[in-house]
Chains A and B, each alone.
Chain A
Amino acid sequence: MQRLLAAFTLIALTAVSCSPPPPSGEKRQEIRLNIHTDPPSLDPRKPADTTSSTVIRLCFDGLMRRNEQGRQAFGVAKSVNISEDGLTYTFTLRESVWSDGTAVTAKDFEDTWKTILSPNFPSEFASELYILKNGKRAKENTLGMDAIGVKALGDYVLQVDLEYPIPYFLDMLMTHYFFPVPSHIANKDPKWAQNGGDLYVSNGPYHLAEWKHYNSMVLLKNPSYWDSQSVILEKIDLYMIEDEMTELSMYENGDLEWIGSPLSSIPVDALGSLSTEKDFNHYQIAGTYFYIFNTEALPFTNKHIRRAFALSIHRQEIVENILQGGQTVATSIVPPSMWEERNSYFADADISLAKKEFEIGLKQLGITADKLPAIKLSYNTNSGHHKIAQAIKEQWSMALGIRVELENMEWKVFLDSVSNHKFQIARMGGIASYNDPIAILKDYQYANSRMNQCQWSNKKFAELIDLADHTKNTEERMKVLSEAQSILMDEMPVAPIYFYTGSYMKKPYVKSIAISNLSEIDLKYTYLEQK
């Protein structure tokens, strides 16, 4: 009889402890977001786009990672020793494992980086690894893989040699470009990263449990993660809704916990009324929206004409009335979040100076205003570019009396025209890959590089860039870069317009979603507040 009672009590207790979901009011640690589109690839070695890198960052961990405060902190590495000349980094790795239990070793890093730099491997971002000694030469196949400056000195010691002593190398290690892949899986099966699940072995805060292509993804907390005690979320649902209005409707309907940057964007028409709601936030992004001038095409061969056009743009008007997202006017090409130096090289809408420059330019070219060739402003089809272009066209008309034609092209046709230099003024924009001014300035070093679509070159500028790469002292280096930017801003092959901001909305109980100023989102420390 007693045993029966005990058994009964045991069963009753068990039943109570395995009880149904917690009482209402307590939220599960589950979050739903929209990543807008299916990631082109989740193999950390291949893609360069934001969607892929976001998911990769959730599933993998690199030598370094941002901590809860958004600062640089150690990830798989637990300490680093930097040589005097700044060229050699020796990392000691902590003992951590992949999600299938295999140890994460220094060899994994070495193999991954070497694969990315091998001549035939289709990695979109391989050039980011050119900072490694002989990286570029290996990719161009002038040197073998063994010459690359990365070597595993033991299971948990990794030695890295750089081409030149940059101060932001640790920062770069936080991007997915330097994340490791499980060589024991990746070398065996080329399709390992295609469907998530068991084959997609990873070492990060979450694990990709399910991937329904172009539909949804489910990520679950990874118990094998070395820092799993910092991870509170149990489950992340990622949807792939392309339409912005639909996404907004879903958020308002309670189907999503977050919408907007950096994964997608809030429709511009909604910004006007949504920006006053309490769920709404925005942040500064280290990225610039600008127009480039083709310095080999008349009349933009002349720097004063370029300056005239750049100076007569009324950026404040555009930011306030068209963008409405709290963007800031750009009077330099490098965003202010990258350095605190003086970062303004001219006054916004300086019409009188613009007119003067215009006169000087015309005189130097030896023509009068009515003999100017027809000028076209090219951009790819996008309602934002559209509106800004129309507004600026009006501004140029009023300030300089010139009629500029708008050329709105299909995206790839536009990219093709620009890379073949078939344009006069073109719209550009981009976010830096890492948090250093040289990320932006470097593009303009050589006139014939693909990144320098304006085909501009300046001997002193090129020298300064090289010098910056070889200057160890941070202060001196900043001075060098500042001087470089001054030259660029004086010659104005590019006309900066505004600095990006990201706007998003999130439910108030979602805490600790970290977004860097490079617009990288991290959910490692995210949790839902119970209340």
Chain B
Amino acid sequence: MTKFLIKKLSYLLFSLFVVATLTFFLMHAIPGDPFTQDKAIPEEILQAMFKHYGLDQPLYIQYIDYIKGLLSFDLGPSFKYQGRTVNEIIAEGFPVSLCLGVEALVFSVIAGITLGSIASFKYLKWQDHLTMTIAVLGISIPSFILATFMQYLLAMKLDLFPVARWGTFSQTVLPALSLAALPMAFIARLTRSNMIEVFQQDYVQTAKSKGLNSFQIVTRHVIRNALLPVVTFLGPLAAAILTGSFAVEKIFGIPGLGQWFVLSITNRDYTVIMGTTIFYSAILMFCVFVVDILYCFIDPRIKFQEVRGSHD
């Protein structure tokens, strides 16, 4: 087992290294620099800024310096937000996005599986159509429109929730709901579809004839098997949600990590781009790894070695 984990870890580190390298060269290849603003500044001032941050060095030297820093977990200073380091930015933003993300995920998983199950039990009846219409709305209304709408209706007009900002629990509700809509819809549909298929299987018929009631059938057999695609979908989704959503955080004025992914690129804040990419990549690979392990628990037929081939 330990051998497996060590191997896993080394693959992860290698992948992170590849991601870092590709991102580094890609971001230097596109036009723009961190310091040019609308108001043009004289050449020597610009050069002084470049020199101070080491951006006047040849690219491969900048790369080596960056990797060196990376090995000691130092992600460097931000170029635009002078005086702040990338480590600080991530350390401040991530907990906020994490909290919001967990709330959204928990809600979407519970609501999604519930809706999907109801729909599959009442296949082709009105409950099915209703729940699936709700699900479709969740997929077809983008999160920023939903967020704006909810903010307008529930916060401003009906005064049920605060309009924006972050700090109390009630300030987390609307943003979490906006984020949860899409995954909930998708989970509901996947659950329903898989459950319907599973219902037709022989072993379910067997269970029924054994005298198990519906609830027992569902919990003991059906959910587990229907969960596979849901879990697959959740892997990268969790990574995305946990690291923050740009649109929702912007609309509700939430100081999370989400805005940085877009902001750093529009600002050409190189170190922040690298830092957020590597961080996101690490989380993503971790989530995918967890999902792969989960496969084995959900469906014991998928043998451990099959997943991500640990046999040489």
Contact = CB atoms under 8 A, between A and B. Distances in A.
A194 interface: yes
Interface residues of A, number: 55
Interface string A424-444: 000001100000000000010
A415 B37 contact: yes
Interface string B233-264: 00000000000000000111101000100000
B40 interface: yes
Interface in A209-239: 212-216, 239
Contact of B82 (A41, A252, A419, A443): A41
Contact of B37 (A48, A212, A216, A240): A48
B53 A127 contact: no
Contacts of A122: 48-49, 52-53, 82
B148 A450 contact: no
Interface in A184-227: 190-191, 193-194, 212-216
Contact of A124 (B41, B43, B255): B41
Given A191-B83, A413-B30, A415-B32, A450 B41 contact: yes
Interface stretch (B114-122, B160-168, B219-227, B298-306): B160-168
B148 A245 contact: yes
Given A41-B83, A246-B253, A430 B39 contact: yes
| Chain A interface mostly | loop
B84 A410 contact: no
Contacts of A43: 82-83
A277 interface: no
Contacts of B42: 127, 449-451
Interface in A301-337: none
A41 B77 CA distance: 13
Given A122-B53, A194-B83, A451 B40 contact: yes
A242 B250 contact: yes
A40 interface: yes
B51 interface: yes
Nearest to B78: A40
A416 interface: yes
A191 B51 CA distance: 20
Contacts of A449: 42-43
A477 interface: no
B152 interface: yes
Given A47-B82, A249-B151, 10 more contacts: A41-B83, A127-B42, A243-B164, A410-B266, A412-B267, A416-B31, A449-B42, A450-B41, A450-B43, A450-B46
Interface of A: 38, 40-41, 43, 46-49, 119-127, 139-140, 190-191, 193-194, 212-216, 239-243, 245-246, 249-250, 252-253, 255, 410-413, 415-417, 419, 429-430, 443, 449-451, 453
Interface of B: 30-33, 35-46, 48-49, 51-53, 80-84, 88-89, 92-93, 148, 151-152, 155-156, 163-166, 250-253, 255, 259, 266-268
13 contacts: A38-B81, A121-B52, A124-B41, A139-B48, A191-B83, A212-B255, A216-B165, A246-B164, A246-B251, A249-B151, A412-B268, A419-B40, A450-B40
